[in-house]
Structure 1
């Protein structure tokens, strides 16, 4: 069985460094660190794909080349996806989706399973395409970290116990997610990428539950 790891984002150079492309950003880092081949374009299915192995496990990396809100159009064409029914609910057993999340501060990430899209239209599109929200998600924070008075955000990381300072209003949200990362923010993401990379590997090799136990407690 191949594991399918999907990085959500918008196609095109103009979107590469935007916050909404965080998922694609981290899957690209994973590809390079794992030594997987360069991306191969599948024009018919509107995907970029790269295949390799992690400790003997087959892994298919995918970057949808539809726009974010239509990510599911590409997902429905991935033949490697496997499903099962558990507790009368359909599960996408081998799917992990990496994406940006406004509910988490910059510098934090969380592994989730069987959760609603939470307003993320790319995730919602995927859920509709695979006909379930029971799949693994690696949610990477992009909201400015809330800093308590007298405390430092330590170079961009949220302070312990801090909450994300989410943009308020639809325009502010759109401006934020489609805005480019500042150099200091990119430095935070690059530092975080080691842990995210380890988390994805753990999901593939040891399973989602173990990965959640390790990385959701950080």
Structure 2
């Protein structure tokens, strides 16, 4: 059984791949690359899952299920709750990686619990699991310029300037997930919260 489920929030399909709202997908893809894990589609669950283990190949590191939903952001909770039930993972072993409007690009926050702050993916997970008590890795995407609608901003591609630093941010967020699983919340917050 998997002791941790790491969910990257995003919308499925190539249309959404470069959007700010999909930064969670980029982080779990980075974790899968590091652990040489491949995504597969579990039967009866609208998600892609890569079973992996942290550490060098052959090491006995913590086991993770890296997940990308194949449903839209506002329906993410269904696949997440089904995976938690299937693998018998408690919500306090769930890590959700998501975009955060209230943090500037380059900022990162790791926390446990909290509200949904208007994020449809988090709202869906709370609705399906009955709790907000899980870990969050919040990746800053900043506020929209001028009077642009936040939803339109999130459902648009990163700018050329933002893409220059995006790889570094994705790597740092993946590092934060690994740290959280291996050394816990307090040490991870000290090292990564900006």
TM-score normalised to structure 1 length: 0.80
Identify unmatched segments of 5+ residues in structure 2.
56-60
CA gap of 1:15–1:199, structure 2 versus 1, over 3 A, is: same
Q: Which structure has greater helix proportion? A: 2
Highest RCO, 1 vs 2 (Cα 8 Å, sep ≥ 6): 2
Q: CA deviation at 1:209?
A: 2.4
Q: Whole-Å Cα distance in 2 between the matches of residues 180 and 74 of structure 1? A: 25
Shift of 1:73: 1.3
Question: Larger % of strand: which?
Answer: 1
Give the deviation of 1:193 after TM superposition. Answer: 2.3
Residue pair 1:3, 1:58 contacting (<8 A) in 2 also: yes
Query: Would you say the 8 A contact 1:167–1:173 is kept in 2?
Result: no
CA change 1:14–1:43 in 2 (3 A) is farther
CA RMSD across the alignment: 1.6
Question: What is the rounded CA distance, in whole Å, between the counterparts of 2:107 and 2:43 in structure 1?
Answer: 34
1:192 to 154, 169, 172: 169
**Structure of larger gyration radius:** 1
Which residue is 2:189 aligned to?
212
Consecutive aligned runs of 4 or more in structure 1 exceeding 3 Å deviation: 165-169
Question: 1:69-218 to 2 correspondence within 5 Å?
Answer: 69-78=74-83, 79-83=86-90, 92-143=91-142, 165-166=143-144, 172-216=149-193, 218=194
Residues 9 and 97 in structure 2, CA contact (< 8 A), matched pair in contact too: yes
Q: Secondary structure at the match of 1:42?
A: coil
TM-score, normalised on structure 2?
0.89
